[in-house]
Structure 1
């Protein structure tokens, strides 16, 4: 006899009726997720200007290069490789590397929340996330790690969003220093 492996379909009528009781918490959770993703997106977009400086090009050209690379990791790799060529000031290079690494850590949290299924309880409250990625070890393969969306995790999301704000400010502070360095160290063209 065939037994379905699908999860049980939610009782949507029951959820709709119960949802008003959990609306405040759900709105808070969704606002946290939205703020985190918006902050992450703004920070990733600022890296276009880092790339613009490192490539010694204009904004539109840097945006074309940036958009042509289809993953955040590829974009950050290009920035790090270009920095090895263009940034000779060791302190400035360390600052840029630290920013890229901090952003990379925040990207893990963003990806986790952007690529998951949210699990609701009978009252309509979001209680867990289920990852949509495979976790492979030497001895096993698992799909869909489930994590509680409890107060501790919400606090972690707040900390991540606060860190995103700091990264944003740090990128803005780095941009003029990076531009001055790259422009000052640009090889001079010999007259023809």
Structure 2
């Protein structure tokens, strides 16, 4: 069930001043959120990541740790985000690799691109959700991949960062609907 979006901004007073929402009266519930970020790179960069051929080390292992650290540091980065006790977090990777032909290999064609989808899930039992922690984890993970690979591919792009799903709390469950291209649909 998806509640209708709020018609007011919860972190602003009527006069427009920012404040931290009081979550004291809210009930503690199990809360979980998953966010996704996509980093687009040259297929040759993807091959280097998969083969462990980059001098900075295991890109995905470092990126996973960076994402987990990002989730834990979210209230230091997002000013009105409550510090919470994270009870669990995961960062998973899903490759979307181009199909290459023997001709591509023979000619050294490296113009095709690959996509790496980063799924970050964060859990807590608390009075406020973990959407920002999941979004931060996915984004920091993508930024770490960029940092570790920029020597070979400065043209990488980070895009399609969005909340995939959340559960728990007063607003219940949100699950983004997707079209055939993996894009979130907006009703």
Whether TM exceeds 0.5 here: the answer is no
Query: As a proportion of its length, which structure holds more strand?
Result: 2
Normalising by structure 1, we get a TM-score of 0.27
Structure with greater Cα Rg: 1
Normalising by structure 2, we get a TM-score of 0.27
Bigger RCO of structures 1 and 2 (CA < 8 A, at least 6 apart): 2
